[in-house]
Amino acid sequence: MTETGSVPLVALRGVTKRFGDVVANRAVDLEIGRGEVIALVGENGAGKSTIVNMLSGVFPPDEGTIEIDGAATGFTGPAASVEAGIGVVHQHYMLVPTLTALDNIALQASELGLWKIDRRALGDRAGAVAEALGFRFDRDQRIDSLDVAHQQRIEIIKALIHEVRLLVLDEPTAVLGADDKARLFDTISGLKRQGVSVVLITHKLEDIFAVADRAVILRNGAVAADLPVKDLSPETIVTHMVGSDAEARSELEIQPETVHPEHPVGEAVCRVRDVTLRRPNGSVAVSGLSLDLHAGEIVAVAGVDGNGQSEFVHCLAGLQRPDEGEIDCLGLNSRARTWSPARLRRAGVSHIPEDRRHSGIVAEMTLAKNYLLSHLDRPDVFRLGLLRNHHLGQVVDGLLNAFKVRAPGSGALMKTLSGGNQQKIVLARELDGDPKLILATHPSRGLDLNTIAFVHKTLEQTRDAGKAILLLSSDIDEILKIADRIIVFAGGRTFGPAPCRDLTRQTIGAWIAGHEDIEA
Amino acid sequence: MTGTALRMPALLVIGFLVAMVIAAILLAGADPASVAYGIIERALFTRAGLLEALLRAIPLTIMGLGIAIAFKARIFNIGMDGQLIAGSVLAVVAAPLLPGNIAGIVFFLALGFLGGAVWGGIAGVIKARFGGNEIIATIMLNYVAVQLLSWLVRGPLQEKMKIIPRSDAIDQALRLPVLFDGTRIHAGLIVAILAVAIVALVMLRGRFGYRLAVVGANDHAARYAGISPAWMAAAVLILSGALAGLAGAVEVAGLYGRLQEGFAPGFGIAAIAVALVARLNPLLVPVSAFGFSLLYSGLGALARNGVVPFPLINILEGAIILVFLAATVALRHGGGQTREAPESGARADG
Ligand SMILES: Nc1ncnc2c1ncn2[C@@H]1O[C@H](COP(=O)(O)OP(=O)(O)OP(=O)(O)O)[C@@H](O)[C@H]1O
Ligand SMILES: [Mg+2]
């Protein structure tokens, strides 16, 4: 908390923001003291990113003011916010994938018009920032050759290259594995020591306790609670987040550590034989992979991101072919011409892609049209080859209800939804219909606690209904909670598959680190 | 990226162009007000002007639809002039084999459609199979088609008299009938209306139209959803080429009755302007096409009357098209703020 008497670094006073009928922020009061780390939490669509967008000058509040050092400020645009010392890493990265790290940084600087670009000076400055943070910075590396954790570091460097007094991070931990997350928290603590304030948006309760001094909990756009973390417990946070909504609460009832009941496992829908996968640059991502996916089971693929998991899922989705070995899936073979996304989808493969924003949605289209993306062959939405808009709208509205998507209706444009709600739509779409094999890549990423519980329940029900599910996740808790078998990708080789109930956390941890097993 | 972000530059462009045009007219020694009046009077207040515009709107509508399809998928077909020629050549070459009745007319138009499809399809294969740039491919194919036509009407297809570089007239029975006595408005009008209806249904309500919109808006999402962007590119070039070819056949059968050089000058580029001003909406294409045709008929009158020097007509035409385009950008509602934060240029999926 800011000591009484001292002026907060940044303060929002009675800030309200509306989008049409939607009130994204309602009379929000928020003070950010110097050197303070604030966790900003709330359900999907609670209004967190909207606050970030106002702090970074993307749009002004409709009512209320933003004060910096006690003086009301009207940001005229992103440059003004940067100049005021606010650095932001947005929920969706703003990097140009085909440019190098340094070019991306230079691009921002020039767009902000803050200085004439002296690439060398800029590079040196970026290098210095990276070093202070303990990052390795290769200025000539192209963004699309970096994994998300490293892209995030470039974003952080990009934000810190200016004199920053407040760093805002919108859901940075959603995409990070345990190690990268720990490193990010070290960075935050380091900034705090230098007197920089940090606002951290997260859906993970443990993050709050790991780094934050104070938690601000949003509910329906309004501040529901603003308390020091030491006075909070996970239960109180959840209570503030969902309010008195008893139904929502009940979904979060802590289930006892599931003792995996025996599931009757059906026949194999997909056989993977001695598959070797290469990355675009030719290096081996995975070799000698064999795996059967059966109807009625959830098989988890675990491991640190970038160990071939994405390539494997791409393969099963028909987006690439194995370099060696073969896959038989629902009557299609990976060596045949028919191995394509269209054919596999028609055969019953549904795919929740890893980078949903990039490859899972069309931002400029309505929610209804986004649903159509994977249901173009659904017979009842077309009559005589013509789209039945009204009927489609009803179908999608039903799904929005089932998944509790916060959206005005199926006619809303995808880009007007909050990040988490966009994710929900992709999930809802891919689980709908009658898929036989579901490739679920990080299904709970970016979702709030309620929704994660709901997604887990849905995946289990889907499994029990006799579908095969491949779950790609970097969260061991999630895997142990719902998966039946696990296979770990590490350093070009694979461990398992083995039934989850036969494994300890330690063993899985050792596999992920690339060891056969821990010494007893 | 947003309408709001582009509004200022668009207004600046409009202001600049208007000033330029006025200055040019003044320099040419004419009175801008009377020039403007001349255009408007001819286009809007004379029967001849209106009819001429309607006649011109027929091919522009059909071609504008083709551009709307292509641009919706972000395939930039600059080759409609070539495709139009290819369609009319095929139709005229095969004309002697066709029966002299309604069926013959339908075949004639279908051959135009086919010829355009083939010409567009060449660019489609180059794009889909070899990843070549469709803009370059279609432009190059324009040159090929123009040269081909020029050779044909001086060589193998030249009329019996071998005097003028043009082909023999096609059988009178293959000509599109005039719809209204005392005018030149021909049955191509019906073809254009049908084309609008069909293309609108396909683009706004059909699976194919949906696929092209997805490919145009986010080709990654398209790939993941099982829509092949390469395949769509080829299909789109074939289809928009076919519409250009159809427009060519309609022009030949409706107006000229034969092949000759430069019989549809600049229609390919005009069609792009038509489609852009219609914001790629097939239902607005005929409106936009008629608007542009009015402009052409007004400008044509100016040229004939010698009010302003001829090159200035082209300048005026270009400037007015640009003003229209800038105005559609400036008038478009930005739809409020977009979700993604600041810099348009830094969008990863732009
Ligand atoms: N440009 C916009 N147009 C219309 N509605 C919008 C727009 N931006 C945000 N909203 C709405 O405002 C509300 C708050 O959105 P916001 O992005 O702030 O949520 P969030 O708390 O960041 O959620 P998440 O955890 O899912 O990222 C949502 O209901 C969203 O649909
Ligand atoms: Mg958000």
User: pLDDT tens, A337-379?
Assistant: 888 899 999 999 999 998 888 889 999 999 999 999 999 888 8
Instruction: Supply the DSSP symbol for A100.
Output: B
Q: Is B163 on the interface with A (CB under 8 A)?
A: no
Residue of B nearest to A98 (CA): B348
Task: Name residue, tokens 């000033």.
Answer: B19
Contact (CB<8Å) A363/B341: no
What's the average model confidence in pLDDT over A182-195?
Answer: 87
Render pLDDT for A235-270 as a digit per residue (tens, 0 to 9).
888 888 887 655 555 555 545 455 555 667 788 888
Question: Which residues in chain B are contacts of A20 at CB distance < 8 A?
Answer: 336
Contact between A316 and A439 (Cβ < 8 Å)? yes
Taking only the tens place, the pLDDT of each residue in B147-188 is 999 999 898 888 888 888 888 888 888 899 999 888 899 999
B201 touches chain A (CB under 8 A): yes
Mutate to test the pocket of ligand 1, among A12, A19, A44, A455 (most ligand atoms within 8 A of CB): A19
- Answer whether B1 touches A (CB < 8 Å): no
Question: Which atom of ligand 1 sits closest to the CA of residue A50?
Answer: 18
Beta-carbon count within 10 A of B86 CB: 29
What is the b/e burial string over B207-233, where b = at least 16 CB atoms within 10 angstroms of the residue's CB? bebbbbbbbbbbbbbbbbbbbbbeebb
Strand A382-383 to A284-294 pairing? unpaired
The pLDDT of residue A111 is 62
pLDDT given for residue A366 in this prediction:
94
Contact residues, A window 370-409, toward B, CB-based 8 Å cutoff: 372-374, 376, 382, 385-387, 389
How many angstroms separate the Cα of A459 from the Cα of each of A56, A204, A421, A484? Answer: 38, 20, 18, 12
Per-residue pLDDT, A237: 85
How confident is the model at residue B186, as a pLDDT?
92
**Tens of pLDDT along A66-78?**
988 888 888 777 8
Ligand nearest to the CA of A51: 1
Atom 18 in ligand 1: residue holding the nearest Cα: A47
The residue contributing the CA closest to ligand 1 atom 19 is A45
ipTM metric:
0.85
**A478 pLDDT tier (thresholds 50, 70, 90):** confident
Distance from CA of B219 to the nearest CA of A (A): 8
pLDDT score, position A245 = 59
Q: Is A121 on the interface with B (CB under 8 A)?
A: no
* Predicted local confidence at residue B332, as pLDDT: 62
CB proximity list for B76: less than 8 A, separation 6 or greater: B70, B134, B135, B138
Q: Is 0.90 surpassed by the pTM of this model?
A: no
Pick the range with the lowest mean pLDDT from A8-22, A37-51, B21-35, B151-165.
Answer: B21-35
Contact A78 B341 (CB under 8 A): yes
User: If you measure CA to CA, which chain A residue comes closest to B217?
Assistant: A362
Residues of B in contact with A108 (CB under 8 A): 343, 346
Phi-psi bin for B44: left (phi > 0), alpha (psi -120 to 50), beta?
alpha
Q: Whose CA is nearest to atom 12 of ligand 1?
A: A24
User: Which parts of chain B register pLDDT below 50?
Assistant: 1-3, 333-350
Find the CB nearest B201 among A112, A386, A389. A386
**B217 CB near a chain A CB, below 8 Å?**
yes
Separation CA A205–CA A43 (nearest Å):
12
Touching check for A321 and chain B: CB below 8 Å? Answer: no
A514: DSSP letter: T
